[in-house]
Amino acid sequence: MPAPSRLPDRARVVVIGGGVIGCSVAYHLAHMGETDVVLLERDKLTSGTTWHAAGLMVCFGSTSETSMEMRKYTRDLYARLEAETGQATGFAPVGFIELASDADRLEEYRRVSAFNRHCGVDVEEIGPAKVKEMFPLAEVEDVLAGFYVEGDGRVNPVDVTQALAKGARLQGATIFEEVRVTGVTQARTLELRGSKVTGVDYVRTVGGQEERGHIEAEVVVNCTGMWARQLAGSSGISVPLQAAEHYYLITEAIPELGADWPVIEDPGCYGYYREEGGGLMIGLFEPVCAPWKVEGIPQDFSFGTLSPDWDRMGPYLEKAMSRVPIAYDTGVKLFFCGPESFTPDLSPIVGEAPEVKNYFVAAGLNSIGILTGGGLGRVLAHWILTGRADVDITAMNVDRLQPYQCTPEYRATRTVESLGMVYQCHYPMRSMQTARGAKRSPFYEALKAQGAYFRDVSGWEGADWYAGPGVEPDPGPLSWGKPRWFDRWAAEHKACREGVIVMDMSFMAKFMVQGRDAGACLERVSANRVDGKVGRITYTQWLDEAGKLQADLTVTKLGPERYLVIASDTAHRHAETWMVRNFPADAHVFVSDVSSGYAQLNVQGPRSRALMQAITDADMSKEAFPFRGVRELAIGFATVICTRITYLGELGYELYIPTEQAMHVYERIVAAGAQFGLVHAGLKALASLRMEKAYRDYGHDIDNTDTVLEAGLGFAVRLKKKGGFIGRDAVAAQKAAGPLAKQLVQILLTDPEPMLFHAELVYRDGACVGYIRAASYGHTLGGAVGLAMIESGDGSPVDADYVAGGTWEVLIGNERYPAKASLAPMYDPKMARIKA
């Protein structure tokens, strides 16, 4: 079905890029009824990175429900595409085995397997003898276990892409090759506080003559792979990804090797292994990689290969060959090196760009483009056509990333680490080590002197825990158990519960919202009433029209036309974009990002009031400064915004200090704090303290698929407030429908030894009813504690009787542990300590 020779003047959706992702987006848009779709490919379909992909189709390995569903959907799609289109995909479900050859990987894969089974992937743990039986050429002497998925296997990436393209055409979409998009046009409109897409400019050569043109479009989708950053950048959009060298080797024919043998993956040897053309393909993910063309990917690079660096790759290749030793004695048919793009946090970049409305991105797949391509295309097509995603997209949304991550040095530095992270053991407390030091709060050097161990917090150096004044922090080896510094963490936690701590949270997103319509605008987006008395802080959620969460934050009314909005670091750009997109264009309201203008110190604990009273003349008594109160206080030479609020579950204060005076205030706090036993506490204590109190964290234990009622946040909703709010009708309808069969529940292990992190399965009376979304260790409660979204399964309400009437357990790896469950916070459920 050839494309028309003439390009149209307009289309509802223009998809840029003809790799597997672009073709999948076009396919799914067309199948969902949007046939006015044009896909433009600068050369031939698959010419970027798709053509040289290894073609693994593997569902095993993720602890993200979103990723698991995309993988399963993709596998099922590839299995049926040939029947639908007549185009072969090369899908061969030969099976897949993940190898664990050390204790930590065994622990990881047992945890992963349990979660994958919960998601519907049949994972079987097998012994080394069984691995040898299924892949006789493998060396298994050091193997502890294999994790086998019978239905996984391999596909042909080019054939899959052609099948998606044909399926899109059959449904009415149009695909043009050899048409290069030179820019995406945009315009400001009366109804928007910003710009939106208007179309694309293109160039192509026809009969030896260069032809330039324009296609008007309502939506543009950037699926240009390793070129996505450059194309997006020309429109002022940040897409921080970087190409890196990526290798695989194919040996000469090995007669003993069967084409129907399973794919093997062995991260401990940096490799994956499968049959290819009678020989063995050995794919590599080396721990230290090489970025390619940091200055920019050439526009004319098509079906290109790079010269392999034998010297650099030799040791990694030798290690990989040790898993299948016959490779040592077999000739090399091809040692392939091609570029592939990677992102700063190894998650895809997907969604609507915050800078330009209706500009969508789907790029930076980090070597999982083939195995998630079908599902990702479906997710994005649904998002485009309905205006919202139907899966949790908080970890892959383009708006989680920041412009500074596009700088050449950042990309060159971080990419060295990110490719290698694919095959690292995914320890829950691991933090990226490259491209660090980009953002430091004013307190950085002072906290370093206190023995702070820093981790990456959205680019900020966040003090995670403290070794003590003048002590160099030694984190020790990463593990799945209690860390070496567990006692230091416990002491910081205890100090907050019993004394007073100071905590740097300058990384929080802060916005000043001002103007005569500021209150009305914030009321419209907030489920709670935020435009009340001056001097009050309000905890609220921002919802979409379906009543599902888009933000979880606080709004402080500083004056009649002046408000301070505080969101988490990961929600920084999302919260700002939500305001810009939902405040009426003609409203007298101005949003200013003041995140860098104010440092944030939290002073928390039973003795926090006494400490605060020692450094200010203001009356800090309960009567003068009640819970949720806000004051501008003089501390030394500085005036700070002080809110009486807590995210730790104790009496406490959050101080917003002009950055240039931050150290002055910190010094006053530390000096006065000596008499009160002031302790520096880090972000590990923040996590454990908030989890004991069951405080929510958007993007971790609650997300865009949850309604505000399911998240247990109905107390922060004002259905009857004048003028309503976005999502009000949906919330009212769910409330009227009766008790909920799905709710967020706090889970506590009664055994004090095991650790909870994420994705551990929760059982009630022997039946799996959910999984841990986020967790920490409850030093006060005496065990690991987490939050899990629990579903009854039979429609019965998840209420207090349901929780109290069952026997609860949590599966960690292969072992179940007894647990307690509660809808109310297990620590201080009546908030007596907070309001003291």
Q: How many angstroms separate the CA atoms of 696 and 376, rounded? A: 27
Which pTM was predicted? Answer: 0.97
Half-sphere exposure of 738 (CA within 13 A, CB side): 4
Q: Is residue 640 assigned to a domain?
A: yes
Q: Is residue 208 assigned to a domain?
A: yes
Q: Residue length, the chain?
A: 836
Domain that holds residue 638: 445-462+491-507+604-680
Question: Would you state the pLDDT for residue 205?
Answer: 87
Residues 349 and 305 in one domain: no
* Sign of the torsion angle spanned by Cα atoms 394, 397, 400, 401: positive
CATH code of the domain in which 250 resides = 3.30.9.10
Half-sphere exposure of 646 (CA within 13 A, CB side): 30
Q: Is residue 432 assigned to a domain?
A: no
pLDDT of residue 208 exceeding 90: no
Q: What is the pLDDT of residues 437-474, one digit of tens each?
A: 999 999 999 999 999 999 999 999 999 999 999 999 99
Half-sphere exposure of 191 (CA within 13 A, CB side): 2
Residues 747 and 832 in one domain: yes
Q: How many angstroms separate the CA atoms of 474 and 105, rounded? A: 23
Mean per-residue pLDDT, 206-227: 95
Per DSSP (E only), the strands in 683-750 are: 742-749
Q: What is the pLDDT of residues 371-421, one digit of tens each?
A: 999 999 999 999 999 999 999 999 999 999 999 999 999 999 999 999 999
Q: What is the pLDDT of residues 590-615, one digit of tens each?
A: 999 999 999 999 999 999 999 999 99
Domain count, the chain: 5
Name 530's Cβ contacts closer than 8 Å, sequence gap at least 6: 519, 522, 523, 538, 540, 555, 557, 563
Residues 107 and 211 in one domain: no
717 burial type by CB count under 10 A (0-12 exposed, 13-18 middle, 19+ buried): buried
Residues 45 and 194 in one domain: yes
Q: What is the pLDDT of residues 58-71, one digit of tens each?
A: 999 999 999 999 99
Question: Would you state the pLDDT for residue 3?
Answer: 55
Q: Is residue 585 assigned to a domain?
A: yes
CATH code of the domain in which 83 resides = 3.50.50.60
State the DSSP H helix or E strand holding residue 611, giving kind and residue range, or none if neither: helix 608-615
Q: Is residue 699 assigned to a domain?
A: no
Q: What is the pLDDT of residues 95-115, one digit of tens each?
A: 999 999 999 999 999 999 999
Q: What is the pLDDT of residues 538-556, one digit of tens each?
A: 999 999 999 999 999 999 9
Residues 262 and 128 in one domain: yes
Report which DSSP code applies to 50: G
**Residue 2 pLDDT level (bands cut at 50, 70, 90):** low
Question: Would you state the pLDDT for residue 194?
Answer: 87
**Residue 4 pLDDT level (bands cut at 50, 70, 90):** low
Residues 730 and 795 in one domain: no
Residues 608 and 590 in one domain: no
Mean per-residue pLDDT, 240-246: 97
Evaluate whether 248 touches 265 at the Cβ level (below 8 Å): no
**502's tokens:** 């100071």
Mapping DSSP to helix (H, G, I), strand (E, B) and coil, where does residue 462 land?
strand
Among the candidates 341, 368, 388, a domain finishes at: 341
Q: Is residue 426 assigned to a domain?
A: no
pLDDT of residue 192 exceeding 80: no
Mean per-residue pLDDT, 775-788: 98
Tell me the DSSP string of 226-262.
GGHHHHHHTTT-----EEEEEEEEEESP-TT--TTSP
Mean per-residue pLDDT, 510-521: 98
Mean per-residue pLDDT, 617-643: 97
Residues 85 and 198 in one domain: yes
Residues 231 and 292 in one domain: no
CATH code of the domain in which 670 resides = 3.30.1360.120
Residues 515 and 541 in one domain: yes
CATH code of the domain in which 566 resides = 3.30.70.1400
Report which DSSP code applies to 278: T
Q: How many angstroms separate the CA atoms of 359 and 235, rounded? A: 10
Q: Is residue 410 assigned to a domain?
A: no
Residues 530 and 580 in one domain: yes
pLDDT of residue 133 exceeding 70: yes
State the DSSP H helix or E strand holding residue 81, giving kind and residue range, or none if neither: helix 65-85
Q: How many angstroms separate the CA atoms of 564 and 552, rounded? A: 14
Residues 369 and 326 in one domain: no
Question: Would you state the pLDDT for residue 300?
Answer: 93
CATH code of the domain in which 776 resides = 2.40.30.110
Q: Is residue 362 assigned to a domain?
A: yes
